[in-house]
Amino acid sequence: MAVAEPILANDQDTGQSELAQRLARTWSQPKGLWGWFCNTHHTDIGIRFMVTAFIFFLLGGVLAAMIRLQLIRPENSLMGPDLYNQVFTMHGSTMIFLFAVPMMFQGFGVYIVPLMCGARNIAFPRLNAFSYYLYVGGALVLWGGLLTNTGPDVGWFAYVPLSGPAYSPGHRADIWSQMITFTEVSALGVAICLATTILRHRAPGMTLNRMPILLWEKLVISIAVIFAMPAVMVASGLLLLDRLVGTHFFNPAEGGDVLLYQHLFWFFGHPEVYIIFLPGAAIVSTLVECFSRRRIFGYTPIVVSVVATGFIGFSVWVHHMFATGLPQLSQSFFTAASLMIVIPTGTQFFCWVATLWYGRLQLRLPMLWCLGFFFVFLIGGLSGVMLASVPVDLQVHDTYFVVAHFHYVLIGGALFPMFAGIYFWFPKMTGRMANATLGKWHFWLFFIGFNITFFTLHFLGLRGMPRRVYTYGPDMHWQGLNVLASSGVIFMTAGLLVFLVNVFRSVRVGGIAGNSPWGDAGLEWSMSSPPPPYNFLHVPTVSGRDPLWEDPPDQPVVVGLRDDIRETLVTHSLDADPQHKDEDPGPSIWPFLSALTVSAAFVGSIFTPWAVPIGAPPVIATLIGWLWPRGQSPTPRQTGESWVH
Amino acid sequence: MNATRSLIAASLAQAMPLDPGRHHMLHAAAPQAGHIEWLYWITFWILFAVFVLMIGAFVRASAKTHVEAIHPLPILEKDEKADRRAGWGVGAALAVTVITLFVILVLSVITGKRVEGLTSQNPVTIQITGHQWWWEITYPNPKADQTVTTANEIHVPVGTPVVVLTNSKDVIHSFWAPNITGKRDLLPGYSSAFWFQIDRAGIYHGQCAEFCGLQHAHMGFSIIAESSDAFQAWQQEQLKTASEPSTSETIRGREVFLTHACLMCHTIRGTDAGSRVGPDLTHVASRNMIAAETLPNTAGALAGWVVDPQRIKPGTQMSPNPLAPDDLQAVVAYLQSLH
Amino acid sequence: MGSLNEPIRRPLTLDVSGLPSVAFGHRNTTWLANVFYMAIEGMMFALMFAAYFYLRTRSTDWPPGHLPPGLRYGALNALVFVVSTIPAWIVKRRAPDCNRRAVRNGLLVLALFALAATVLRVFEFSALNCRWTDDAYSSTVWVLIGIHSGHLVTELIETLVLLAISFTPKMEGTRLADAAINSDYWYFVVVTGLMVDFLIYGTTRFL
């Protein structure tokens, strides 16, 4: 073989290569409005998830601003209790269900995972598209509720009996419960797609030991989603049944139990916050490695920590219930588990410090956001250690101290890495660089505003201000701190506006990015920005953890996959040995149509149980349409066919 | 006697000006809150030290930064020695972390035992039942006519263990007096007990701490810790049936009360009003505040509350009572006579 | 590999053209998706079972004020479930051999068993000796058997669809693999059904 020049093996020459043209023809997605609804390519769906999630982030932020405005003055009349209760419930529900998971796990995961694996598309691309439309359906149901004065008003976790039929008449809590169904089915769909992609579509040579930390994290989170989401589906499902058909799961008068709801909900709720945080931590691991210009220190401890956090995250849920009067022994167990989970997180922190310490730091914009993450998440984690201890928790539980804690860990642990990731992968997604100066303004405005608002809230909690109060008396001495907290909103808003300007401007006139503007190691940097519809001209192989840094110039590429059909390579879960070939189903309208019928059934069931038998046939019809073998003759495949058990 | 009681209450209210320590968990007025405050500060300083060390480590680690370079710098070669040193550093940090967490765990368990450790053969027993949006307070006694029933204002003798039994009539509430002890949820279908003891006389305020609907923000209560004698005196007063109205205005006021919607929800022992839906009003004038610590117990506030409670606490269970001005004045005067 | 115009960039190659294009058993990616799906649904069942036992601890009497669910139809259905594993096994066994006829017949018999189980399920509901609105126990029993019925009906429909496909020329490699995976899911329906039966018919009698 001729010796290769030291350039990337998968560099694309669109104009010249016939192979590229054939692949583009085979893998392209249809255009036009109809085509938009048929799209099954992961980069397009991923961007849709991220853009939609960001819109809901902004909407959730508007609700937060309304809350802060209401609380600026005692006995303020900006919002009465009914509207306020809807606003804070919508704020929490929007941020958690319509922003955090769809952005950090679904959108970003769907976009980057196949690229990092070296695959041409995500596994089960139609399920992926379906998950997006279902997410949008759930979001529309929830916000449709708010805009028709049927917004849920029982808090984002909707404790019974307040959310039950006796104390929440009307459909507000039903809308909340069904939104859960929509978004959880959506997340489960994406989890199956991502887990399968990571286990079966990695580039040959990418053994588990050579997987980027981000792929490990997405795998762990997908498994966590698979085991956690059912709990909230059961909780919200039983709530719906109590409300709509007269069951008594949560009715103490008939043998039901109010704590059953809390156990079911928090069994989901606690893993949920790790589902939100661990993607952020993985982004940080990726960026710390890139901007320290060396391989990350402690790959194995970090991977073990990610897995351990996923596990231990399932064993701490009762720390949300310390005030319910549980036996002391069980409380001590959950304190111990909640403290134990600090160890894997701490391990990641120490490894990041070590990487920076022994690295050559290049402080570019995405790394600045990582530094912000270190500061903010650290504070949140430390206040979490305080909350783990039962006596302290019994004082600060359900106060603004907890509100401060979880905003520090969620905004620190997810939002800051999200912006880091956006600025980092923006060049790959759009082909252009975001403006660094605007990016820095964004960072400092947001960082300062965030700390002004949320650090202050710790003190309000210590001074006895409970959560979810639409107002307070003038004699509580809470006004000063509330005014200070509300003032931070101005800076955060300004920072976000700068960000929006940056994005809209840079997409059009930002510097051309090229394949790999940051010099990072991952496979996603080996093709043009944005990636072509077939991702890789040749499916790559790898021989190290940091392919673009370590792999030799003549690193083999895969040949023998057909380019006239959408043929993909399936590899072994552990050592990524090529196993067999598969065929991507291509664009299809059925995911969208199925999402419509499923949404209609879900929404209808809020109003009548008959929606289930009436809504089922259209759902079945669209699913059959989806699963029915496609029109093309199976002959092209059969000629090469042989069997494997 | 009635006059003395209200005088004592008024003086107490004066003696405890609204200081910043009110409702502040770090201004403990009871040993329970005191133990928790101790744990809070120890934990805080340990974690503050951790914070300083971590930030210091990040600052040192990122001190030598190459901001100016626009193009990616070359990758560093693998450095075995550096990785070994890093290994020791991470290992040491992990060891310190594990030890610190263990220390916090031990301190937490110890504090928990101290807080829960109060017990007594002769406690004052109080049953607190949460309602949307007020607190039903009962001092249970095997003899029904020795059972004190009141609302929102709790009296306890100084220096005596108190055990609280919890329940809820509707949704989940949470009883929380930050100066006294940690909170406890009031769950329908469950009764749990917690103990506290107040060693310093005063008025301590609390507020519902579990979102319970429209007026969660206005569901306050107060605990008045007083001498044993004062407490006994208060209890004896509370056990009596309602004072007989003696002026023409108060007699008319009782008439108004018993012929309007009032008796549908309220009890005034000694009259025909016996409903348990709303707070017991037999001794309403003996309380400092009304509407679950939302309004002062004055004629003006009472009048406003009776006529249109929805304006003050929108969504509250009490419906408006559009009374004629004379009737209103009379019923307010009657209520104010119920010491 | 390319035209003469391509730059001289000759990495080594890994030739996969000889690999099969369909896989049976655990190598199949749809098999993996099915495993994940069973994990999700299994988790839901596990949580419902936990809820059942949790509510049991909140009650002195079990069933509270009801007769336990009637045994007859439940026992019959359990028998139907157990025997139905035979056609499911046949489909799974014959599919990799490309034995389209055996697979088609197996699917037909399996569909009949699924239909029988569904019909028997309707009778089971009427013999539960309680109504879901009575109390928490009744609600739990109805929802346990209700959720399982959802799986049963879904499986019935899926088997029928596969059966329909098996009469068309489209019944090739991947579809045969799908039929085998369908049998895996049927096993899941049987196992969860037996567990629900144990809870509803068994523990109500000896707990």
For residue A635, name the pLDDT band (cuts at 50, 70, 90): very low
Considering only CB atoms, A399 lies closest to which of B36, B83, B209, namely B209
What is the fold, at CATH topology level, of the domain defined by C35-57+67-206? Four Helix Bundle (Hemerythrin (Met), subunit A) (1.20.120)
- Going by C-beta distance under 8 Å and a sequence separation of 6 or more, which residues neighbour residue C119? none
The share of chain B scoring above pLDDT 70, in percent, equals 94
Is it the case that residue A632 has pLDDT exceeding 60? no
Please indicate whether, in this complex, the C-beta atoms of A462 and B192 are within 8 angstroms of each other.
no
Q: Do B20 and A477 touch (CB under 8 A)?
A: yes
> To the nearest whole angstrom, how far is the Cα of B262 from the nearest Cα of chain A?
23
- Say whether residue C2 is in contact with chain A using an 8 A CB cutoff: yes
CB contact under 8 A, A464 and B75: no
Q: What is the pLDDT of residue A641?
A: 56
The minimum CA-CA distance between A427 and chain B, rounded to whole Å, is: 14
B partners (3+ CB pairs within 8 A) are: A
How do the domains of chain B map onto residue ranges? Answer: 31-116, 124-234, 241-336
* pLDDT grade for A14, boundaries at 50, 70 and 90: very low
HEC per residue, B126-189? EEEEEECCEEEEEECCCCHHHCEEEECEEEEECCCCEEEEEEECCCCEEECCCCCCCCEEECCC
CB A65: neighbour CB atoms within 10 A? 16
Q: Do B182 and A295 touch (CB under 8 A)?
A: no
How confident is the model at residue C172, as a pLDDT?
84
Report, as an integer, the average pLDDT of B88-96.
97
CATH number of B124-234: 2.60.40.420
- Pairwise CA distance, residues A321 & B208, whole Å: 16
Q: CB-based contact (8 Å) between A314 and chain B?
A: no
Query: How remote is the C-alpha of A425 from its chain's centroid?
Result: 16
C-alpha–C-alpha distance, residues A110 and C144, integer Å: 34
Q: Check: CB of residue A273 under 8 Å from CB of residue A409.
A: yes
The answer on pLDDT for A72 being more than 70 is: yes
Q: Is A69 on the interface with B (CB under 8 A)?
A: no
pTM: 0.95
Give the per-residue pLDDT at C10. 61
B329 to chain A, closest Cα gap in Å: 27
Candidate from C22, C51, C132 with C-beta closest to A260: C51
Chain A partners within 8 Å of C11 (Cβ): 1, 4, 9, 538, 553-557
B215 touching chain A per CB within 8 A = yes
The conformation of residue A643, written as its DSSP 8-state character, comes to -
Tell me the pLDDT tens digit for each residue of A35-67: 999 999 999 999 999 999 999 999 999 999 999
Residues whose CB falls within 8 Å of the CB of residue A21, separated by 6 or more in sequence, listed in order: A14
Q: Which residues contact A615 (CB under 8 A, 6 or more apart)?
A: A597, A600, A601, A602, A604, A605
CB contact under 8 A, C136 and A637: no
Q: Do domains B124-234 and B241-336 have the same CATH topology?
A: yes
pLDDT, mean over chain B: 92
**Cβ-contact B206, B176 below 8 angstroms:** yes
**Angular region, B159: left φ>0, alpha ψ -120 to 50, beta rest:** left
Distance from CA of A283 to the nearest CA of B (A): 18
Region A354-370: mean pLDDT is 95
Residues in A closer than 8 angstroms to C48, CB to CB, are 234
Cβ-Cβ contacts under 8 Å, A127 against chain C:
33
pLDDT, residue A15, reads 41
What confidence score (pLDDT) does residue B3 get? 54
Helix (H) or strand (E) holding B224: strand B220-226
Question: How confident is the model at residue C6, as a pLDDT?
Answer: 47
Confidence of residue B170 (pLDDT cuts 50, 70, 90): very high
> Which letter does DSSP use for residue B76 in this model?
P
With an 8 Å Cβ cutoff, is C64 touching chain A? yes
List CB contacts (< 8 A) between C96 and chain A. Answer: 643, 645
Q: What pLDDT does B5 receive?
A: 52
Tens of pLDDT, residue by residue over A396-452, are 999 999 999 999 999 999 999 999 999 999 999 999 999 999 999 999 999 999 999
Class of domain B241-336: mainly beta
- Say yes or no to pLDDT of A572 above 90: yes
Task: Flag if A230 and C55 touch (Cβ within 8 Å).
Answer: no
What proportion of chain B, given as a percentage, has pLDDT over 90?
A: 89
How is chain C split into domains, by residue range? 35-57+67-206
Asked whether the beta carbons of residue C136 and residue A254 sit closer than 8 angstroms, the reply is: yes
Query: Looking at beta carbons, which residues of chain A come within 8 Å of B216?
Result: 466, 468-469
Distance CA A336, CA A318 (A): 11
DSSP secondary structure letter of residue B29 = -
Q: What is the mean pLDDT of residues A252-276?
A: 97
* Closest in A582, A620, A641 to C29, CB measured: A582
| pLDDT given for residue A631 in this prediction | 60
Contact A357 B217 (CB under 8 A): no
Task: Look at residue A123 and tell me whether its pLDDT is greater than 50.
Answer: yes
Note whether C2 contacts A558, CB cutoff 8 Å.
Answer: no
Q: CA of C82 to nearest chain A CA: how many angstroms apart?
A: 26
